[in-house]
Structure 1
């Protein structure tokens, strides 16, 4: 039997979870057809999910068809939880994109489509709610071709041969074969689906079970089990906690076999291998390649982490863009930090930080719905009734020139010196770490301490105190003392080196402030075009090359603009179009800030006063340690400063 892992993705309210429920019901996995609106969906077991009628985190279920054992991962549809959806994509064989026939391709649909393309996930499309009045199959299919891909083709279960002409157009070899024989073999079509040349489209109504069996037959026919290596490899895609507080590491086994009690990371064993189906689970002694399970007993895992022979995933495309300060409302700061750290463990994109210079807890999130869920979780799970201040933009910092950074930590009976090469990297690449240091300068053990220290914290910039990104940091030299170097010395020296390098670049104006941008789509009447174009210009936005198109008698403007300028624009559009305009936006990544001077003046960040992130070093003379200002560290360093 083929073992396939499929994820369901969709814009919120398209019927994604309803389709999942229908497939489980039709295959006999559930005895009743769960409904999101009634709060009894098998795949939305969380109290808040039932209350709000949305999926907040991914959930696992399983069902069998005639030839396949399918593991289904139902993902969140709301854009505020899109980073949790992205975490799942890296472990999928196939994806099911659910489209509402009444709403068509929406803002988050486009975002999801870009992610599916980025991760190269073969995709099936189920057009839901075809039972609604006024739906037009041909119009929906045309919309899919224009908005997503010309390769979106209806796969008629009863007469697929009628679509062979169109399918063959998207692969030259298949076209030649079809012209010779007049047929396409199933394996040829399977190959084209796997190569994302065609995207099978099915129509139906999940709530009424219309078209669901045909769709599952299509999955059975066209999905192909991947070839897997014999060596063990797995990837973490989710962290959660069960009702008893047990930490769960969710993995997809991508090669070999995962055995119970196996040592996986830092000497930690897999205490249990849980196979979940909704909220319930069974315990297995082993999970073979292709399987998905939750592991107990691991404390240092994180989404995107590779286990065994698997490499770590690339940094997520979807990043938080808003920053909020927590109002304690009389609660103890330690209790709040503990609760938030546990929630951050489940969703690393939450980014919880203690601001020393402001004496505040800050969180970084995608949007207001995520904030409301977070506030409710703190109350329900930890009995912490907190609130949040006004949102602010989550900026980031990067460098535009390479620099050698030096950190030295030598109070009495301690010793460590670290030299790092910090280089600019391409936009959106995040931070990478490497080592190019001879063991003649620094032994392997101490080099490992440096690399661990680099990864142990989120490093902050010196312009604003926001995180640094898009750079490569390489250990190039250092020095230890056989007698005095102890645990923690290299952590101090490493962290000070990063900040020292940033301060060097600040003094030479080789730092750059980055801000989040939105990709937007604005649909308005022709009479409002002038106003809209002026608004985009005033918001420092840019129209796409296509600029302006006409769809269904309405003018469509697409482009990008800073989040700081555009986050309130939906209400403005609603007002000046009297509710007739449609505005959609999604995260488009970070770009150079459009008003750096204004932001720096408003934030008034003093990097030297941020004592938890000091750029200065500590040296020793005459039996006592003494501080050395960051600018004087290269001259005082014990290892020669390399001319890079």
Structure 2
């Protein structure tokens, strides 16, 4: 990538480019790089030669699968553009990137309008209070809409908008986007003041009673409200022709650049380094590169750092490594020893780090004590589908190679949770069928492995219905009844929802060697992955009530063998209830479609909670099992003449009865 180098960088902005699939997100990224001199030739999604879609699968399919970073400089501001996937199956990739952004550009199509996934993205962005700039793309396409689209945006995405460009010859190849000017256009100044006054009482008083704010005051107020996520500027243009792109660049640098604090920067030495790994790449040689956004402190090559992550069972894993090389994204790479590319990474910047062999996407950088009070990442919704993967070729070692390949892919997407099954298959978690197709293609392209995926199933979970205990003890001169030289007693009790799993001791900590304590606790977390009905057990506390050993006969293996036996008995006595994940949904439908749509949703197990509107359309809200969301999405177009607008998000779970089948049976 050719980067136009500006030596006097004072600010760094990390901006995400987000959109519904096919809105033109990657094309806009390419145009931004070209217009600012970062590249000297435009790539094309159709030709598969864009800067950010570098993977073979991305080039073949024309969709973004992994986040990528590209940079350009405007004056003293460097902008790191993070191109993110647009397909809903890769929403977790988008969510983890949001935690490292200073702002986002949400791309809309002037032809297709406000699409379903754009609504999901905007709601997430607004919940995180991230600054969002809207870019309405494709103004030069036939069918492009202007004022009607802005009305839809206000109704479906965000009510407080400030249109920043006028469009001439909309919907024709000669369409132009002309930026408004606060200094020269009184009408525009009035519109900006009215929009800002809706969320600022002091400014409202100035607008009503005077004196009317000046252009400079409005410019400052607009930037402040955009950075606070209360108001959203709207730019129109075309990534294909470049119309409106320069105005968008100016808006990003003027409206999202941090306001001066007047106190000066805090000395780097006074703050420990904190950051987040949001992307991982592996070269053909196996060399791993981690992309890390730094929030505070500094980093340099040869520095030792501590990373941590939370396992699916809630336990925390910490690992330490040494940075062998560090490249600051956006700095020139004039050889391995370039002083610009290998200088210190400072707060706000993104670095490409090697040497951290255990790094995975989502890892958090903390100080050596493990403290981490830096910015928190967004909560990633868990995948709701599970599938089993087997090699098509049953040759010796094929299953091991497949599992190793899926573990490598889990470094880039930890939420797939690749786990080996007893029969040699590997289970993975998914968000949708497109993600499964991408995994299958990646296994072939990158690892030469043809895999067979079983039909996906909805992931359910179990919670204890009550409290119960079980134990098994060593005899005087004999092992326990199960044949282990160990005594283990466990109590299982339910805890409130979303509290996860906790392990506690009622026994004296010094009563067992440390290795035996570790064996019991680790085995409890492992055993809870499969409850009495075959699903993972959560929201409970497991307490060690009895323990004992016989030296030198007892080993850690005895405790690993006996613990799941005792835990299974305690769970069986307590009983568990099975729950299925649900989505809250909003669906906007034509007036005449209400009876058919509500009947369809009820047949799919949905609980309809609210029906509103009735003038131009109906808005139906409710909750539906996650496993039925896809069916709803497929049936609604036929019931509404293609006019349904569906939006759903994970929203807890609900009981499905104690007779729910285990994961491998047929739904």
**1:573 maps to which of 636, 645, 648:** 636
**2:52 maps to which of 26, 30, 43:** 43
Output the CA distance in 1 between the equivalents of 2:201 and 2:523: 49
Unmatched runs of 5 consecutive residues or more in structure 1: 606-644
Q: Residue 47 and residue 400 in structure 1: after superposition, are their counterparts in 2 closer, same or farther (change >3 A)?
A: same
Query: Any conservation in 2 of the 1:449–1:490 contact (CA below 8 Å)?
Result: no
2:133 maps to 124
2:6 maps to none
Unmatched runs of 5 consecutive residues or more in structure 2: 1-9, 166-179, 183-187, 260-264, 307-318
Q: TM-score, normalised by structure 1?
A: 0.81
Query: Any conservation in 1 of the 2:465–2:574 contact (CA below 8 Å)?
Result: no
Deviation of 1:62 after TM superposition, in Å, equals 1.0
Q: Note the alpha carbon deviations across 1:490-536, whole angstroms, 9 max, x for none.
A: 9838x937x85575344333x33222323445454444321221111
Output the CA distance in 2 between the equivalents of 1:365 and 1:9: 21
Corresponding residue SS for 1:50: helix
Q: Note the alpha carbon deviations across 1:465-512, whole angstroms, 9 max, x for none.
A: 33334x36587788687976999569838x937x85575344333x33
Query: Any conservation in 1 of the 2:132–2:226 contact (CA below 8 Å)?
Result: yes
Computed over aligned residues only, the root mean square deviation of the Cα atoms, in angstroms, reads 3.8
Query: Any conservation in 2 of the 1:111–1:586 contact (CA below 8 Å)?
Result: yes
**2:454 maps to which of 389, 408, 415:** 389
1:338 maps to 404
Q: Note the alpha carbon deviations across 1:565-618, whole angstroms, 9 max, x for none.
A: 3422333334455x534363544244114455243598499xxxxxxxxxxxxx
**2:445 maps to which of 351, 374, 380:** 380
Please identify, of 258-267 and 83-92, the stretch whose mean Cα deviation from structure 2 is larger.
Answer: 258-267
Corresponding residue SS for 1:568: helix
Corresponding residue SS for 2:54: coil
Corresponding residue SS for 1:284: coil
Corresponding residue SS for 1:134: coil
Deviation of 1:25 after TM superposition, in Å, equals 0.8
Output the CA distance in 2 between the equivalents of 1:490 and 1:239: 39
Query: Any conservation in 2 of the 1:464–1:604 contact (CA below 8 Å)?
Result: no
Pairing 1:168–2:234 present: no
2:181 maps to 158
Output the CA distance in 2 between the equivalents of 1:485 and 1:268: 37
2:123 maps to 114
Deviation of 1:57 after TM superposition, in Å, equals 0.4
Output the CA distance in 2 between the equivalents of 1:485 and 1:237: 47
Output the CA distance in 2 between the equivalents of 1:602 and 1:376: 24
Please identify, of 443-452 and 104-113, the stretch whose mean Cα deviation from structure 2 is larger.
Answer: 443-452
Corresponding residue SS for 1:567: helix
1:610 maps to none
Query: Any conservation in 1 of the 2:507–2:546 contact (CA below 8 Å)?
Result: no
Deviation of 1:259 after TM superposition, in Å, equals 1.3
1:635 maps to none
List aligned pairs for 1:588-603, cutoff 5 A: 588-594=650-656, 597-599=659-661, 603=665
Please identify, of 65-74 and 390-399, the stretch whose mean Cα deviation from structure 2 is larger.
Answer: 390-399
Corresponding residue SS for 1:72: strand
Q: Residue 203 and residue 435 in structure 1: after superposition, are their counterparts in 2 closer, same or farther (change >3 A)?
A: farther
Q: Residue 190 and residue 371 in structure 1: after superposition, are their counterparts in 2 closer, same or farther (change >3 A)?
A: same
Q: TM-score, normalised by structure 2?
A: 0.79
Corresponding residue SS for 1:252: strand
Q: Note the alpha carbon deviations across 1:435-469, whole angstroms, 9 max, x for none.
A: 78898657996699479838986941414333334
Corresponding residue SS for 2:533: coil
Pairing 1:468–2:534 present: no
Pairing 1:398–2:463 present: yes
Output the CA distance in 1 between the equivalents of 2:499 and 2:66: 24
Query: Any conservation in 2 of the 1:416–1:485 contact (CA below 8 Å)?
Result: no
List aligned pairs for 1:27-426, cutoff 5 A: 27-156=36-165, 157-159=180-182, 161-162=189-190, 163-176=192-205, 179-183=209-213, 184-225=217-258, 230-265=271-306, 266-276=319-329, 284-309=342-367, 310-311=372-373, 313=376, 316-331=379-394, 332-356=398-422, 360-399=425-464, 423-426=494-497
Output the CA distance in 1 between the equivalents of 2:194 and 2:554: 71
1:613 maps to none
Corresponding residue SS for 2:101: coil
Query: Any conservation in 1 of the 2:485–2:558 contact (CA below 8 Å)?
Result: no
Q: Residue 404 and residue 186 in structure 1: after superposition, are their counterparts in 2 closer, same or farther (change >3 A)?
A: farther
Query: Any conservation in 2 of the 1:190–1:222 contact (CA below 8 Å)?
Result: yes
1:492 maps to 560
